[in-house]
Structure 1
Amino acid sequence: MKIALFGGTGRVGKEIVRLALQDGHEVRMLVRQIPKDETFQHSNCEWIQGDVRKEEDVFKTVEGADAIVSALGTDRTTTLTEAVPHFIKAMDHYGIQRIVTIGTAGILQSRIDPTQLRYEAGDTNRKLTFAAEEHHAFYDRLRKDGKEWTIVCPTYLPDGEARGTYRVLRNYLPLDAKMITVGDTAAFAYEELTNRMYLQSRVGMAY
C-alpha cells in the first residue's frame, strides 16, 4: 500500500511511519524541513519539502497514493482548516476514498449534552478551545464530503510505547478516561487504516 502522510515528523506521525515501513508499505511525506531522524532513512520512505497549506504541495504528496493519513497538529495556527480543502480536492482528483486522521477528544460527543461536542458542553477543563475548534472544522468538512474517513481522538497523550490493551468507543470518550500513549494511538490509527471498523466515525481512545 502507498500512504500519503501529513504530520509525519510529529510524535504520532513518526510512529505511524515506523509501523508502515516495518510492514513493507510505501510512505510519501510532506515535510517543512528535510527529516534527519533515522526512522525516515528508508528506501520505502519518500519526502517532499513543502507546505500543507499549498494545494500543489498536497497534490504532489497524494499522487499515486492508496490512502491518506494526517497526524497534523494545530500549533496555534489554522493549518488544519487550510489543509482540509486541499485533501478533499486531491482525493477527488486521484480517486482516493480512505483517510485516517488524528484529532482530539474535545470533538467527541458530550456526555453532559449529547447534542454538543465535549469542548462545547464543558466536559473538559480546557479554557482555550482554539485547537478543538480547528479539529471541529476539519471534522465537519470530512463528514460532509462522504469519504471513508476515521478520526482517532485520544485523551491526554503522553509519550510512551504501545501497550496493546486499551479502550475505544465510537464517537464518545470511554468513561473515566485518563490517558493513552503515543504508541497505542499510532498503532490503532495505523491498524484502522486497513481494518475499516470505524468508517465515518470519530473514535475515543483511553486505557
Structure 2
Amino acid sequence: MKIAIFGATGRVGRIVTTLALHDGHTVKALVRTPDKLKELADSSPGLKLVEGNAASAEAVGETVSGTDAVISALSTDGGSLLSDSFPLILEAMNRLEITRIVAIGTAGVLDSRTEPGLLRYQSSESRRTLTRAAEEHHAVLRLLEESRLDWTLVCPTYLPDGPAEGGYRVERGCLPENGTRITTGDTAEFAYAQLFSEQYIRTKAGIAY
C-alpha cells in the first residue's frame, strides 16, 4: 500500500511511519524539517519526504498524489494549523479519488456519557479549563462528518510517551469507562491497523487502558 502521512515527525506519527515501513509499505511524508526523519529515510528506501507545510495546498497535494490512503497524526500547534490543513487534505483526497483516511484526534471530541448531546470537552467530564485544542479537533470532526470519505477518528485519552503495552479498550463514539491513559505506542498501532479494517469506518473510536 502507498500511504500519505501527515505529522510524521510527531510522537504518534513517527511510530506509525516506522510501522508502515517495517511492513513494506511505501510512505510519503510531508515534513517541514526533513532532517528530523533523515536517519529513517536513509535506512528506508520506501520513505519519500515531501518538504513543506500542511497549510500549503501544493505541498498537501503532492503528498497525497499517488497514494492509496492517508493518515493524519497532525496535532494542534497553539494556532489553527490543524483546522487550516484539513480542508486542503480532504480537497486533495476528493480530487484524487482517495477515500480512506485515519486521523488522530482527542478524547475531548468523544461523546459525553453524562450530558447527552455534548462532546466531552463541552461537558463536566472534561477537567481542562482551556478548550482551544479540543475546538481545533472539533473543527476536524465536523469536516470529516460532512465529507463522503471513509474516515476513522482515533481519540486517545491522556497520551504519555511509551511503547505499546496491549490490553487497551476501544469504544465507538465514547471513551472506555474509567479510561485514564494510553501510550503513544498503542495509539499508533491501533491507528495504523485501521487502514486494514472497516470496523470503525465513519466514526470516532475512543481508546484507553
Scaled by the length of structure 2, the TM-score of the pair is: 0.97
For 2:180, the aligned partner's letter is K
1:14 equivalenced with 2:19 (yes/no) = no
Shift of 1:86: 0.6
Helix, strand or coil: the match of 2:171? strand
Shift of 1:36: 3.9
Residue identity over aligned pairs, in percent, reads 48
Distance in 2, matches of 1:185 and 1:122, equals 25
- 1:99 and 1:149 in contact (8 A); partners too: yes
- Corresponding pairs, count: 207
1:202 equivalenced with 2:201 (yes/no) = no
1:112 equivalenced with 2:108 (yes/no) = no
Shift of 1:39: 2.8
Distance in 1, matches of 2:197 and 2:23, equals 15
- 1:102 and 1:151 in contact (8 A); partners too: yes
Shift of 1:98: 0.1
1:70 equivalenced with 2:72 (yes/no) = yes
Alignment of 1:31-70 (within 5 A): 31-37=31-37, 38-41=39-42, 42-70=44-72
Q: Alpha-carbon deviations, 1:142-190, whole Å to 9, x = none?
A: 1101210000000000011111221000000000011000000000000
For 1:71, the aligned partner's letter is A
Unaligned runs of 5+ in 1: none
Distance in 1, matches of 2:114 and 2:41, equals 43
Scaled by the length of structure 1, the TM-score of the pair is: 0.98
With 124-133 and 30-39 compared, the bigger mean Cα shift is at 30-39
Distance in 2, matches of 1:89 and 1:5, equals 16
For 2:24, the aligned partner's letter is G
- 1:9 and 1:35 in contact (8 A); partners too: no
For 1:59, the aligned partner's letter is G
Shift of 1:195: 1.1
Distance in 1, matches of 2:185 and 2:40, equals 15
Q: Which residue of 2 aligns with 1:134?
A: 136
Unaligned runs of 5+ in 2: none
Helix, strand or coil: the match of 1:3? strand
Distance in 2, matches of 1:100 and 1:48, equals 19
For 1:9, the aligned partner's letter is T
1:29 equivalenced with 2:29 (yes/no) = yes
Distance in 1, matches of 2:57 and 2:76, equals 18
Shift of 1:108: 0.1
For 1:165, the aligned partner's letter is G
Aligned-pair Cα RMSD in Å = 0.9
Q: Alpha-carbon deviations, 1:15-51, whole Å to 9, x = none?
A: 0001000000000000001134433331000101101
- 2:9 and 2:36 in contact (8 A); partners too: no
For 1:39, the aligned partner's letter is L
Distance in 2, matches of 1:133 and 1:142, equals 14
